[in-house]
Structure 1
Amino acid sequence: ALDKANEELEALEEEMLQMQESTRLFEVALPEYKQMKQCRKEIKLLKGLWDVIIYVRRSIDNWTKTQWRQIHVEQMDVELRRFAKEIWSLNKEVRVWDAYTGLEGTVKDMTASLRAITELQSPALRDRHWHQLMKAIGVKFLINEATTLADLLALRLHRVEDDVRRIVDKAVKELGTEKVITEISQTWATMKFSYEVHYRTGIPLLKSDEQLFETLEHNQVQLQTLLQSKYVEYFIEQVLSW
């Protein structure tokens, strides 16, 4: 449509030039054709704007084919910053146009989505956290190795960026809890106990071991700390069993 408008305007401009030649011969004043000049100006502005729009769209389209675990967020973020700079450098007159606000919105949403994706790449996330995210978004989805950036963008993550941050933060804190419980379990699974026989009864009794009691005391403090944490809910039965 823009090319067609440009062709039509060029034809009118050619006609105007011919009229200018004629008016010189007859010494007649020629109108300024302000509307035509304004059209030429706007077409130039539109051309510049749409060049940026097409470039940004093509770049993002290429990114969307990337498998989500392979997404280089930092590299994309640098590109998005460059896009934003180019958009801002466009003539101020284009900022009132829907095409401009749409482009600006696309870049902003993409930036927010990438922030959310960075969070979601955390190794702390478990299936339960993905289910929490599904609930926040209101859509069921499957995340696997074949999942692409396009699949994630379709979830409109920029709308739930705060939820993503909250869920991932919870996952990281829960991972810390999980590690403590695992360490305690491994410690006591490999703990060797020493016994000594009571000299009168002959019954084997647990030998006093300073290191054992220090470990026991340390682990008890850890478990008490976990019980006071708001991130213990998922592990409460395991913690109480100790």
Structure 2
Amino acid sequence: KSTCRMCHGVCGVLVRIKDGKVVEVTGDPDCPTNLGYICPKGKASVEFLYHPDRLKYPQKRIGARGENKWQRISWDEALDTIAEKLLKFKRESGAESVATIIGTGRPQLPMYMRFSNCFGTPNHLSIINNCYFPRIVASRMTSGKFHVCDYYGFGGVTPKLILNWGCNIVGSGAADGMCGYQVTRTLKNGAKLIVIDPRKIPLAAQADQWLQIRPGTDDALVLAMLNVIISEELYDKDFVNKWTVGFDELA
């Protein structure tokens, strides 16, 4: 048993090994988040592991850019080369002439940021300004934490209504504990579905109501909805009084 790391969903998987080599990856039916399901990306993780072009050690370009000529070098040589070039740029043009950029390795993010800070450059690009952190900030400002929607019914009640707004979760998938099959399973259990999207995504065909708004009018629609909810008092007043800040300004 293991977990899939092809995205941040971290689905439970069963790994079949033959003669010391992974030959198949399937979903773990005992895992509460994916219940035995696994997406094509997870199934393909075996190919990713053993692909002949997978980079497993440092390589140095020995030809002209674009010729695809490389030579394997040691880790010491690679680190020395990188350090030498970084210090050269720092001496000649200053530390702020260097920008650092990383991919989606979230747990290592503080180390990358600290490296840029110690080097002397504020030019650090990562998930902070691209994708992940805006979601965290919005979630924490809204609900106090980075929550995951409870499609599973862990609280004893499964969702009765799904509002799918600008998210093609079934057609293109998603990460961070949200899987398209959870939505389809909830719909099979009788939940109603409202889809708000200019495009006719796969879920729109199953929706009880599809609002095909014009691109860029999301704010106008959500403000109109808030106006009705507040003016007709269709909200939980006890919850608002206990858990929210700034409701009077919003109203």
Relative to the length of structure 2, the TM-score reads: 0.23
Relative contact order: is structure 1 or structure 2 higher (C-alpha 8 Å, sep ≥ 6)? 1
Relative to the length of structure 1, the TM-score reads: 0.23
